[in-house]
Amino acid sequence: MTKREIIDRIMEINTSARPEFLAAFSHESLQEYLNHLTEVLAEQHEPAFLEPALAGAAL
């Protein structure tokens, strides 16, 4: 992925990020940040984990 593609993808996820600010970072730093954002996004879409003891408990 090019630096520009990484910046574009970051801005899709983090809409407050500005291209001028992101362009100051290295390709490697931007890739690390994109990886972090992707992981956080994936965690937000995972179903919540229930403790086995609570899974059968009536609410």
pLDDT in tens, 6-59: 999 999 999 999 999 999 999 999 999 999 999 999 888 766 565 555 555 555
pLDDT at 43: 82
pLDDT value for 42:
87
Structure tokens at 55: 């899974």
Q: What integer pLDDT is reported at residue 53 of this predicted model?
A: 56
Q: Is 19 helix (H, G, I), strand (E, B) or coil?
A: helix
35-56 burial, b for 16+ CB within 10 Å, e for fewer?
eebeeeeeeeeeeeeeeeeeee
Its pTM surpasses 0.85: no
